[in-house]
Structure 1
Amino acid sequence: MQSKILPPPLQPGDLLRVIAPSGALREFEALGQSVRIWRSRGYQVEIFPKIDDKWGYLAGKDENRTQQLAAAWQDPDCRGILCVRGGFGSTRILENWNWQTNSTSPKWLIGFSDITALLWSLYTAGISSVHAPVLTTLVDEPDWSTQRLFDLVEGRPLTPLKGCGWGGGIARGMLLPGNLTVATHLLATPILPNLDGVILALEDVTEAPYRIDRMLTQWRLSGALQKLRGIALGSFYRCEAPQNIPSFTVGEVLRDRLGDLGIPIVSDLPFGHDIPNAALPVGVQVTLDADQGILDFS
């Protein structure tokens, strides 16, 4: 499998740009606190002037959000891009987007949830990125999770993550983490990466079990799951069924829709919309041990 370009490790003093490519910003206090965390590490953090724009549920019109991403990506002095929040909107700015990887040096792109679309698009362009807390959630992370994010972007080794192994042995492949809902809406689009040999890491939030079932059934019908080497499952936070309505639990749905694939699977890993949301590299080789329940980054 083709390796991805890993951006150079960040160092104190590096310039980071803050953009809002998705939903409208509401958590101003959390944003300020998270920016201070990055600055306390010695980084220069510049916030895009129109970060608080609103256009319906979006953080400004598509052209404005595209300009933010382009300005950060094309800035030769910028070493990393910090996304403000998820929500919805990043796929809208990818319709005619080109990463222009030949004219810019690779830089870190950090976020999760709706930012999945940007992470996966960058993956298809051959560049690794980071599935990690956005700037409206970083402040809520425990110290070890925050340190893990800095370890990742500053070039230090990552400790393994422990979950619940479903059995099925050990797999090694390229890690591709993301939000299940966003990823499902990338099926049959040019943004969907080549999944051959991938270890797919999925999480979600506030989706009823029947909706998780529907999405995973779409993955099954598409044939995409048959290409994978393994699956790593994070938190499925607040994905309970409505009260007084017959339902499976989300855990039962995951077992039913994924348990017969014949590949290693580990669930209950500490990443996703729940706390903690452990940083995961996008596009690096990892080992998934479904007998021991371990995701190893060495």
Structure 2
Amino acid sequence: MPSKILPPPLKPGDLLRVIAPSGALREFEAFERGLEIWRSRGYRVEISPQIDDKWGYLAGTDETRRQQLAAAWQDPDCRGILCSRGGFGSTRILEDWNWQQNSALPKWLIGFSDITALLWSLYIAGISGVHAPVLTTLADEPDWSVERLFDSVEGRPLAPLKGCGWGGGVVTGTLLPGNLTVATNLLATPILPHLDGVILALEDVTEAPYRIDRMLTQWRLSGALSQVCGIALGGFTRCEAPPTVSSFSVEEVLRDRLGDLGIPIVSDLPFGHDSPNAALPVGIEVILDGDAGILAMPTAASNAS
């Protein structure tokens, strides 16, 4: 597994740029509250002029959204990129995209959900981002989760996360967090990273159990799950079947599709669409204890490689 470059730690006074690479912005009050959190920590935040563009369900045309990302990424004064929201659309702007088309230092890319595609593409380019709340969800996070995000990008150690251990022992690997639906749609594309030595961290929301089953079965059939050394499961919230429909629970589906892999697995970790959504740096070395149910980051993110 090649080393990953972690951007320089952020500090108050740094310039951050806000982009809308995916779905059209709808939650304007939540967006403003998220902005205020970053500004209250002393950061200078510039918002893309096209932030409220709309093109169908997308936040502007592919070219407009690609230009937002390029302008932020190529800006030598910018130290971090904040994504406004998820939704859908980031994969569309990754066609013919090249992260190396810049002369600036690597910078933090922060987001989750549909931003998974950008984070994984950046990871392939050798640069780590942070799977963490977008601006429209940040203000709903508990205080400890907000602090964890700032710890992640400002270079401080991160506390272990506690979940439910399924057994399988202890493994050390490279953390690759993301949304299950988005990640599944990256299978067999150039945006899917090599998974050897990876601890896959997955979450999802509003997906019926049969859809979770279908996606995990695709992972199994593709052979991708045979490459990972551990799995960390976050929230699978609002994934219940209608009460009138015969169904497995999402917990039963996860156990059925993953429980026979013979690797450490921890579920119910506090990250995902519904608060709390603990920040997870992409590409750092972590320890997954399937017996104790712990995901631990043994070093400060800024020192990992």
The 5 Å alignment of 1:250-265 reads: 250-265=250-265
Q: What is the rounded CA distance, in whole Å, between the counterparts of 1:102 and 1:230 in structure 2?
A: 34
- Two-structure CA RMSD over aligned residues (Å): 0.7
Aligned to 2:34: 34
Aligned residue for 2:287, secondary structure, equals strand
> Which residue of 1 is the match for residue 302 of structure 2?
none
Cα drift, residue 102 of structure 1: 6.5
- Is residue 239 of structure 1 aligned with residue 221 of structure 2? no
Q: Following superposition of structure 1 onto structure 2, how do residues 102-113 of structure 1 map, counting pairs within 5 Å?
A: 103-113=103-113
Match of 2:194 in 1: 194
Q: Which residue identity is paired with 1:155?
A: G
Q: What is the CA–CA distance in structure 1 between the aligned matches of 2:103 and 2:42, rounded to whole Å?
A: 28
CA contact (8 A) 1:179 1:203 kept: yes
8 Å Cα contact 1:101/1:125 also seen in 2? no
Does the residue aligned with 1:80 lie in a helix, a strand or coil? Answer: strand
Q: Deviations over 1:13-42 (max 9, x none)?
A: 000000000000001111111111101111
CA distance in 1, matches of 2:102, 2:200: 28
2:74 and 2:102 in contact (8 A); partners too: no
For residues 1-298 of structure 1, the aligned pairs below 5 Å read 1-100=1-100, 103-298=103-298
User: SS of the counterpart of 1:140?
Assistant: coil
- The DSSP-based 3-state class of the residue aligned with 2:45 is strand
Paired letter, 2:210: Y
Deviations 1:223-268 (A, max 9, x none): 0000001000000010001121110000000000000000000000
Amino acid at match of 1:184: T
Work out the CA distance in 2 between the residues paired with 1:18 and 1:129: 15
SS at match of 2:212: helix
Deviation string 1:91-136 (CA, Å, 9 cap, x unpaired) is 0000110001663311000000000000000000000000000000
- For the residues of structure 2 that align with 1:77 and 1:104, how far apart are their CA atoms? 8
- Supply the distance in 1 between the matched residues of 2:40 and 2:101 (Cα, whole angstroms): 30
Tell me if the contact between 1:16 and 1:46 (Cα under 8 Å) persists in the aligned partners.
yes
**In structure 2, do the counterparts of structure 1 residues 139 and 199 end up closer, same or farther at CA, with 3 Å as the change threshold?**
same
Percent identical pairs in the alignment equals: 82
Q: Which runs of 5+ in 2 are unaligned?
A: 299-305
Q: Secondary structure at the match of 1:136?
A: helix
Shift >2 Å, 4+ stretches: 101-104
Partners in 1 of 2:170 and 2:105 — Cα distance?
Answer: 35
1:243 and 1:101 mapped to 2: Cα distance? Answer: 51
